Amino acid sequence: MSKVRPVVAIVDDDPRLLESLENLLESAGYAARIFSSAGSLLVSGLSDVDLLITDIGMPGTDGFELRDLVKKTRADLPVFLITGRHEIADQHRAKGISGFFRKPFDGQALLAAVSDALRNQEPRDEHES
């Protein structure tokens, strides 16, 4: 039996943004899993995650580092980076991401990008880990 709703993991240290994105994604039919740090996501695991949205600027492991860690075990996982910064300090570090959004971003544009990324993803067996 395959999953009915794609799972989107969101990592951000701002609880208001986590709640807002969780509501937006759930209202669009996705299952949202929220995490306040990269470490909490990594402890929880990535086996059921279909797409990752992570903030760049977080204490501890930042969004770029998290993306790099995730790509080692799940190279196929679409990763979106979000930031409140108005520039990317290191442009070459942004390569290899599925999407980049500056806060505040348009929720409908994010949903469209999520939909596109998931549509272009190879179907996975739900028992993969």
Amino acid at 98: S
Among 127, 85, 40, which residue's Cα sits nearest to residue 52?
40
35 burial (CB, 10 Å; 0-12 / 13-18 / 19+) is buried
- The closest of 119, 122, 128 to 30, measured between CA atoms, is 119
| 3 pLDDT tier (thresholds 50, 70, 90) | low
| Average pLDDT of the chain to the nearest whole number | 85
Output the pLDDT for position 61.
Answer: 86
Report the distance separating Cα 94 and Cα 64, nearest Å: 8
Q: pLDDT tens, 55-105?
A: 988 888 888 899 999 999 999 999 999 988 755 545 545 555 567 788 888
Domains and their CATH numbers in the chain: 9-118 (3.40.50.2300)
Name beta bridge partners: 85. none
Selection from 15, 28, 19 nearest residue 7 by Cα: 28
Average pLDDT over residues 39-43: 95
Residue 32 has pLDDT above 80, yes or no: yes
